[in-house]
Structure 1
Amino acid sequence: MKLTSNIDKLGTAGLFLTAIFSPCCFPLFAFAASALGLGSFELFGGWTMWIFQAMVLISVGGLYISYRRHRCMYPLMVAIPSGLLIFYAYHINDSDYWTYFLYAGMFGLLIATIWNYKRNKMNGTCDTCTTYNGKTVETQSTLTCPNCGHKKTEIMPTDACVYFYECEKCKTRLKPLQGDCCVYCSYGTVKCPPIQAGENCC
């Protein structure tokens, strides 16, 4: 969960690091490269464009994952046009001003990432998130019955383990698989709050 929560930040950080270490392609960041003693050094050579675009996809993908978890669409609404601006600058725009579109897209993704971080980590997250022992956890999980495939979204308790659960369709009584502490850890899309927080369940 920790990795998926940070994909957007990894992508955006990689985006700017690629630009800093490729001053010939990104003159705006040449001062940072000079400060690091890199001058006109090109770390990635001919791969710069492809690595840069891959980081854009990682950043937007991370923000999409965050949206799916927290249902806050505003950072994603900034990120998608920003990503499209970058691809437009690379593949469609052939004017002398293509770098302006590139930089606009980069800083748009930076804004979206910071916004997403502040929204999810500093100012509370969403209606189905809560704080458990000082850590933000998701309480909504969708259970899938292994017998009939029926899915049901439930809100997990933070003060008890759910060891048994009856499927409302086929009436199968579910219990945790070996090694799991509760039905959410075995059949849910999100594990129980204690496990998310890195603790023992019960």
Structure 2
Amino acid sequence: MGNREALIAGAKKGLFEKGYTRTTARDIASAAGVSLAAIGYHFGSKEALLNAALYEAIEEWGEGIQRSFAAEIDAGAPLLDRFAAIADRVMLSFSEHRQFWAMQFEMIAQAEHTPAIREVVMAGLVEGKRGFVELFHGEVDAATEKLVGPFYHAMVTGLLTQFLIDPASLPSGRDLAQTVRLIAGG
């Protein structure tokens, strides 16, 4: 592993263990086993390195979660059964990847003040909506994606908020499917 890759790995470690704002350049260089100057040489700044690490972490998580879900969810099941199973699996990922999910809220707070983070979060938002649509529906046309993507993103963000504050308050996937059925019929 070269210095650049070691720095990305060190930055990801810092992001997950300390968060974006509390990770120092020394933390990253120490975890990577390189000098502080390597950060400037390869990335220009600690922030640019953290942003690159954040984007890579989001991408890796998304790919891993998609593979995991594809293997666990019956694509031939009725939509509400798939919805319930996927919702349960998403909520399970909250505890499996708690540090990653919690980091999302820190990034949202930082996006207000840091344009570079805003860009990373915005790209993640676009990909996240698309990814949730693919999880729940498979491939759909752009108009359908534009309609249901924000719904799934809002649902997952709300569930995540509940999980981080009061995990016992989370509904089951079956409860959520029943709620969707009630709303759609009501």
Larger gyration radius, structure 1 or structure 2: 1
Which of the two has greater helix per residue? 2
The TM-score normalised by the length of structure 2 is 0.28
Query: Which structure exhibits the higher relative contact order, with contacts defined as CA atoms closer than 8 Å and separated by 6 or more residues?
Result: 2
Q: TM-score, normalised by structure 1?
A: 0.26
